[in-house]
Amino acid sequence: MENRDKLMKEIGENEMAFPLTFKEWEDVAKEKMITGGYQYVSKGAGSEETAKRNRTALEKWSIIPRMLNDVSTVDVTTELLGNKYASPFLLSPIGMQKLAHTNGEIATAQACKKFMVPFILSTVSSCSIEEVAEVSNGPKWFQLYWSHENPEVSYSMIHRAEKAGYEAIVVTVDTVMAGWREGDMKAGFSPLSLGYGSGNYKTDPVFMASLKDKEEQSIIEEILTHIQHPQLTWDAIAEIKKRTTLPIILKGILHKEDALLAVKYGVDGIIVSNHGGRQLDGVIASIDALAEIKEVIDKQIPILFDSGVRRGVDAVKALAIGADAVCIGRPYLYGLAAHGKVGVEKVIERFIQETEVTLGLAGIARLAEIERLGMKREK
């Protein structure tokens, strides 16, 4: 626990300037971001039933710890898709990060590299696939919003991601249309129209060649028609699989039958996620869906998890319930908004440290042995 003591000392002595709790990070981010931008990031869809449920459900799950094990070192290394990672964390894809900080995804990718945490770059990122690869040789995955309008644009992006060294393609399946986000509707807020989120489109040769009108406004409109993909079906997944040698991960699976279909269609992993309550409101908490999906998947493919994770304890619960790795969402975006690259680094570092402390106190010396923990859910 030497690391932990070091961290405690650092927090006490040098890091008072940095926020510590999720709420503190959020408060600083709120101050630094434009009002519409903060609202866009922080809110959920509809009446935010699901955004809230993600939290209440996580709090209903409790850990039943083990005692009298030597936990003088806690090993959180994680194997995923044949790679070994230093921790069980990845960063969820979040579009348009220049909305949070002028350095956007460049800063986030650099912070990830420091901890060798995979960064999942969004299709609608403000920085391009290549720009991000240039500043970070750390692990990177690419998130794809399938373009039904012109599948060749999607294949072009997949090809660019392969060429730039990205290790996996994450196909998001819960965003077939825009979520019902009342805050954004009232404010008339659209991050794309601020020009923050077109890095991958503006640098895509197939997309640019397809445009008749290269005026800014029509580029944005074209991007929007490319992002929404109500026609997305399992056939497209099979098609994508044919076009790349990279592993394919489906993000946004909540039903166990869909998890089984994912296995049937030969995908390499799933992310159990409800998009942080930003898409379909009223859906099951991500952590409860994880518990059900874990049962049927039974280790056939890796299961990743996001939505509502705010600290190390949340991550340990997800890992104990059956996730192979956990994706951090809003917490790192607030770190970015508050303190740029260093902010993201602090958020990641504390997630890892708190996870180590939590596992140690729960009597688990190696993450690989987390199945020894009990988990109980209150009604």
Ligand X SMILES: O=C(O)C(=O)c1ccccc1
Ligand Y SMILES: Cc1cc2nc3c(=O)[nH]c(=O)nc-3n(C[C@H](O)[C@H](O)[C@H](O)COP(=O)(O)O)c2cc1C
On the 0-12 / 13-18 / 19+ scale of CB atoms within 10 A, 135 is: middle
Shortest Cβ 197–ligand X spacing (Å): 6
Q: With CB cut-offs between 5 and 8 Å by kind, which of ligand Y, ligand X, none does residue 307 bind?
A: ligand Y
- DSSP characters for 262-329? HHHTT-SEEEE--GGGTSSTTPPPHHHHHHHHHHHHTTSS-EEE-SS--SHHHHHHHHHHT-SEEEE-
User: Would you state the structure tokens that stand for residue 88, as one six-digit string?
Assistant: 């069980």
Q: Which residues pair with 327 in a beta bridge?
A: 90
Determine, following the binding rule CB under 6 A, whether residue 227 of this chain makes contact with ligand X: yes
d(CA 252, CA 173): 6
- Listed residue (57, 7, 3, 32) closest to 254, CA to CA: 57
Determine, following the binding rule CB under 6 A, whether residue 46 of this chain makes contact with ligand X: no
Determine, following the binding rule CB under 6 A, whether residue 200 of this chain makes contact with ligand X: no
Q: Which of 7, 33, 41, 315 binds ligand Y (CB under 6 A)?
A: 41
User: Would you state the structure tokens that stand for residue 138, as one six-digit string?
Assistant: 């750390």
Residue whose CB is less far from ligand X, 307 or 353: 307
| Residue list 94-123, contact with ligand X (CB under 6 A) | 95
Residue whose CB is less far from ligand Y, 74 or 90: 90
Determine, following the binding rule CB under 6 A, whether residue 312 of this chain makes contact with ligand Y: no
Determine, following the binding rule CB under 6 A, whether residue 36 of this chain makes contact with ligand Y: no
- State yes or no: is 101 an active-site residue: no
Q: With CB cut-offs between 5 and 8 Å by kind, which of ligand X, ligand Y, none does residue 36 bind?
A: none
Q: Which residues contact 317 (CB under 8 A, 6 or more apart)?
A: 58, 61, 63, 287, 375
Determine, following the binding rule CB under 6 A, whether residue 147 of this chain makes contact with ligand Y: no
Determine, following the binding rule CB under 6 A, whether residue 330 of this chain makes contact with ligand X: no
Determine, following the binding rule CB under 6 A, whether residue 290 of this chain makes contact with ligand Y: no
Count of C-beta atoms within a 10 Å radius of residue 221: 14
Q: Which of 50, 172, 198, 358 binds ligand Y (CB under 6 A)?
A: 172
Query: Residue written as tokens 């402390």?
Result: 357
Determine, following the binding rule CB under 6 A, whether residue 275 of this chain makes contact with ligand Y: yes
Determine, following the binding rule CB under 6 A, whether residue 101 of this chain makes contact with ligand Y: no
Determine, following the binding rule CB under 6 A, whether residue 229 of this chain makes contact with ligand Y: no
Shortest Cβ 270–ligand X spacing (Å): 17
Per DSSP, 213 falls in state -
User: Would you state the structure tokens that stand for residue 333, as one six-digit string?
Assistant: 């975006």
End-to-end CA distance of the chain: 35
Q: With CB cut-offs between 5 and 8 Å by kind, which of ligand X, ligand Y, none does residue 227 bind?
A: ligand X
Determine, following the binding rule CB under 6 A, whether residue 353 of this chain makes contact with ligand Y: no
Give ∠ CA 346-348-354 in degrees, rounded to 5. Answer: 95
Residue numbers of the site for ligand Y (CB under 6 A)? 41, 92-95, 122, 124, 143, 172, 251, 273, 275-276, 278, 306-309, 329-330
For the annotated catalytic residues, the residue numbers are 275
Residue numbers of the site for ligand X (CB under 6 A)? 95, 124, 175, 197, 227, 275, 278
